[in-house]
Structure 1
């Protein structure tokens, strides 16, 4: 359907989409990651999931270093 986006510009939107960002939090990583790092990881996972049209899941493993991105696991359509 076509509707105004957040900037007020008319845009075509799919009728259904689902984007899930996940941080796989391992118990052994809990002592190494603070709340702000966890929030950043969750934000990045959601951002990457939303970049895929339709439906997608993007998983970041807490045992992998937040950078480089190649350490992250990705699943999509």
Structure 2
């Protein structure tokens, strides 16, 4: 259907889509991740899921080292 988007511009939207961003938080990683890092990981997971049209799930694993995370994320699209 066609409706105004958040900027007020008319845009075509699919009738139904679902995007889920998940952070798989392992107990052993809890001591190494603070609330702001967890929020950033959740935001990244949601962002990557919403970039896929239709239905998508994007999972970020908390045990992946931050320097390797960008490579891992690119492979999950």
Q: Number of residues paired by the alignment?
A: 77
Q: Aligned-pair distance for 1:42?
A: 0.2
How far is 1:65 from its partner?
Answer: 2.0
RMSD: 2.3
Contact 1:64 1:71 in 2 (8 A): no
Normalized per residue, which structure has more strand?
Answer: 1
List alignment gaps of at least 5 residues for structure 2.
none
TM, length-normalised to structure 1? 0.88
* Consecutive aligned runs of 4 or more in structure 1 exceeding 4 Å deviation: 73-77
**SS state of the match for residue 39, structure 1?**
helix
Q: Deviations over 1:11-51 (max 9, x none)?
A: 00000000000000000000000000000000000000000
Using the alignment, how far apart are the partners of 1:69 and 1:19 within structure 2? 20
* 1:41 pairs with 2:71: no
Deviation at 1:66, TM superposition (A): 3.1
